[in-house]
Structure 1
């Protein structure tokens, strides 16, 4: 008998966010690798061996009180701390919402985190460490891959990159993502081309919306804001770029970094502590805007260093590939079903 797993998620309703990407990748993985071992249903309130909650909708919260749910698994893509700088929620609603998030996680029988650093933070909220499991995100090599030189040149021409050194950022346009530093880099490096692929997924609720919207509507000549890009088209942007830069101040385990690795693009990040336990050594670490600007200058003058980080991206992509994570998920679900 296959293990019946019911997935609960509304992540796909909001385009351009990593939670939805991670959810869709997991669904594809299970259906592709384990069609006989795991029976996946989506948003059906029927009896199941395991109910896996990807988002924290109130109707999902209420469903956790039913005995039909089986083992309840919560997928932690965010904590109250990580929402700061993403959404602008006035008090007292912000405090109520943050309490609700933790209350939802406490309804779970088991928790999955995408970054091990969040284990201690969850235990600080009173969740038992023994029910928390770390399983990283992953991407598919057949969806995110390196183009050959001919195709890459074609895409660069289509996107208007031409022969300029191109820096790519991906994600929602919001304060937390460090978009203002990305804009400043473009302003101070007019010889390079900058692309930010992403938009205001949550509209006016986005933190810093008013200021950022002014720049998005009237960017520097060498900076292009694409708006929300369909995920199937992102591979073109990765391959058109010479460097992927994510200047975020707070993250869990960004899908965009894994996608860049999978496409063999060198990666530069703001050196957050939470990256150290998962991808340290695979990316170019920077502390602040000045450091990013200096590293960018050094990379454009040193092709050998750029090629070194291309090889490191290839290496990282093997560790976080679909095939590597497939067995981990099967073992996890099997252990819970027992």
Structure 2
């Protein structure tokens, strides 16, 4: 079987879509020939990591073929040039390599223009998020327009046309994968013309062999600190401002509390907020994009608490990564997060937008080591059983085979 994966994000990973595609490719059985069509990312984060900094042969097997067809310099406009390049390049690739199936990913809609070409190849699209949901999350954050990331600003400005395009895209006859049951229900509610039996649910997953707890204290960072960790793009919808607004009170109650932020994006608006609240930079650090996965795992293992007070975010892979490392998670009870965390069992769920609720939850966990350990153990067990990439990749392959058998 030959599959073309349209990857608007790949390496370097700067979002959940990229993390999903990279792990799917890593865990797909080697009998599947994979052609990854993706933009070459020029820079990311303060370390300015690019696609050129990776040796792809070290990351993937010989069944994986990378096709760079455009360049990405930002987090929004690059997508239009990628859509155009896909429409020109993929028909040739399908013909020359005898591609059996195309796997696309949205809300990027990389095959938007390609859908106007008459290809006799079925398309499976994984829906990670929607433009409607992203805008709702950004709006709920309460951050000013000037504080937003470029992608969030442009989504606001171009929302009417983007929403119209998305509505057109999601009503095209094709097969869909959603990464949560919640998202499938939302799609059927918002787009009644979508056919339920053509929407498959395969929940997000994590590599439980790589993301795992460690008893080796030498493997940990910030030994003398209680680290409260946040990972992910520095965008308003992920609720990073709620974390920022909790710091001044937390450090008054817990002098050894230390907040670590990992992920690409502009930290300046958040640093300004902290300075305005009189918070010393000795209590926090923005690390930017972490290229080495081993370092990322070490940071998870060093954390006493992981926080994800998101306003909108389907089923976040970053939460699964923390859980796999045995770190107690505090997250909001929005979107599909309750599908992975039962409040008080695998983590703590709070209301979105409440710095007070986050402060109380962080303080409770920092004061109760036994509770932290219990939540961490339960979280690890849940992820191992229900959210591992080995199973998710095989389920995805089963869908490929199901779709192809229906097309014959």
What's the TM-score once normalised by structure 2's chain length? 0.72
Query: CA separation of 1:300/1:213 partners in 2, compared to 1, >3 Å: closer, same or farther?
Result: closer
Find the partner of 2:123 among 72, 94, 97.
72
Matched residue, 1:28: 26
Find the partner of 2:152 among 87, 110, 117.
87
Alignment of 1:238-257 (within 5 A): 238-257=300-319
1:217 shift after superposition: 8.8
| Aligned counterparts of 2:268 and 2:332: Cα–Cα separation in 1 | 24
Matched residue, 1:164: 225
Q: CA-to-partner distance for each residue in 1:256-279, whole Å, 9 max, x for gaps?
A: 111111111111111225322343
| Aligned counterparts of 1:92 and 1:239: Cα–Cα separation in 2 | 40
5+ residue gaps, structure 2, are: 38-89, 139-150
1:81 shift after superposition: 2.7
Q: Does 1:48 align with 2:99?
A: yes
1:336 shift after superposition: 0.9
1:216 shift after superposition: 7.8
State which drifts further: 5-14 or 68-77: 5-14
1:324 shift after superposition: 2.5
Alignment of 1:202-281 (within 5 A): 211-212=269-270, 214-215=272-273, 220=280, 221-230=282-291, 232=293, 233-280=295-342, 281=345
| Aligned counterparts of 1:166 and 1:132: Cα–Cα separation in 2 | 40
Matched residue, 2:198: 131
Q: CA-to-partner distance for each residue in 1:22-71, whole Å, 9 max, x for gaps?
A: 111111111xxx222x2211224314221100246676222223443511
User: CA contact under 8 A between 1:238 and 1:263: conserved in structure 2?
Assistant: yes
1:90 shift after superposition: 6.8
Matched residue, 2:33: 39
Matched residue, 2:169: 104
What secondary structure does 1:117 align onto? Answer: helix
State which drifts further: 53-62 or 12-21: 53-62
5+ residue gaps, structure 1, are: 204-208
| Aligned counterparts of 1:13 and 1:99: Cα–Cα separation in 2 | 30
How many corresponding residue pairs?
319
1:15 shift after superposition: 4.3
CA RMSD of aligned residues (A): 2.4
What secondary structure does 1:243 align onto? Answer: strand
Matched residue, 2:215: 148
What secondary structure does 1:176 align onto? Answer: helix
User: CA contact under 8 A between 2:11 and 2:22: conserved in structure 1?
Assistant: no
What secondary structure does 2:331 align onto? Answer: strand
Query: CA separation of 1:256/1:337 partners in 2, compared to 1, >3 Å: closer, same or farther?
Result: same
Q: CA-to-partner distance for each residue in 1:269-299, whole Å, 9 max, x for gaps?
A: 1122532234334221122221221122221
Matched residue, 1:291: 357
1:108 shift after superposition: 4.8
Find the partner of 1:19 among 11, 17, 20.
17
| Aligned counterparts of 2:195 and 2:213: Cα–Cα separation in 1 | 42
Matched residue, 1:184: 245
What's the TM-score once normalised by structure 1's chain length? 0.86
Alignment of 1:109-128 (within 5 A): 109-123=174-188, 124-125=190-191, 126-128=193-195
Which ranges of 4 or more aligned residues in structure 1 deviate by more than 6 Å? Answer: 216-219
